[in-house]
Structure 1
Amino acid sequence: MNGDHPVHVPADGGPLGDEQLVENLSELLAATGGFEQLAERMALLSDQGRLRILFCLHAHPGVRSTDIARAIGASDSTTSHALALLRSAGWVDAVRAGREVRYELADVFVHDLLHELGSDHLPGVRHD
């Protein structure tokens, strides 16, 4: 196992019986909720075009959609449609800069997830 990630063990050191385990897991899932929305949001990552867009936005925040389209080899309309989907799902924000719209990641969750997936920043882009 990777030493960078925590290892989870039962707090009391003893295993739960099967019935208790199922009951505890069922309660946990019921209390958490929102799985349908989370699955829909995560499904957006299954498209390599959208994933490439997210990698571009992670590598250099504030890029224009036309520049993303050129970088990923897609049409402007396909890229705009994908950006609209990503915006509606909360992955991406659009920021108006004069007459242009520039795109960036919406939150730290998306940023951290992209790091975990192997995305990197371009030179000159750093964390604040």
Structure 2
Amino acid sequence: MSTERKLIDPERVSAAVDGLGDRAVIDEWARRFSVVADPSRLALLVSIHYAREISVTDLAAATGMTDTAVSQALRLLRAHGLVTPQRSGRVVRYRLADATVHELIHHVRPHPEHPANGDEDR
């Protein structure tokens, strides 16, 4: 049994369907947003954004978290492709791996008007 819906504005429905595109992409971003929705993980992402690259120990100091909590959160952020590690000798520093998350952070916590060290917007 097929039920036809009477549409008020078929062009808008068509635009909405086109905008949704591949539902797998929507599902992936929903998973990513659920990861970012945690305040501790969001604090880590914001801290990494401003530091550009930062170690677990330094992230723990910046966010007031334990090294263990930071490491666990970073594992999840890495699994979702949001951060990536950079090894320099014995030190591993993390950086943002996703340009969209970088842009999102600009909306969550914009750069100060007068950046430290005279740096321009990163």
TM class, shorter-chain normalised?
0.7 to 0.9
CA distance 1:112–1:75, shift in 2 (3 Å)? same
Q: Which has the higher contact order (CA 8 A, sep 6+)?
A: 1
Structure 1: tracts of 5 or more residues without a match: 1-16
Matching residue of 1:44: 35
Q: Kindly state the Cα deviation for residue 27 of structure 1 after the two structures are TM-superposed.
A: 4.4
State the Cα RMSD in Å. Answer: 2.1
Q: Which has the higher helix share?
A: 2
What is the percent sequence identity of the aligned residues?
32
Distance change >3 Å, CA 115–CA 18, structure 1 → 2: same
Find the counterpart in structure 1 of residue 4 from structure 2. Answer: none
Match of 2:80, as an amino acid? A
- How many positions carry a matched residue from both structures? 111
Partner of 2:99: 108
For 1:72-128, what per-residue CA distance to the aligned partner results, in whole angstroms no more than 9, with x for missing partners?
111111100101111111111100011110011113222111111124376135447
Residue in structure 1 matched with residue 116 of structure 2 by the alignment: 123
Q: With structure 2 as the length reference, what TM-score do the two structures score? A: 0.78
The residue that corresponds to 2:8 in the other structure is 18
Moved over 3 A (4+): 124-128
The unaligned stretches of length 5 or more in structure 2 are: 1-6
Task: State TM-score, norm by structure 1.
Answer: 0.75
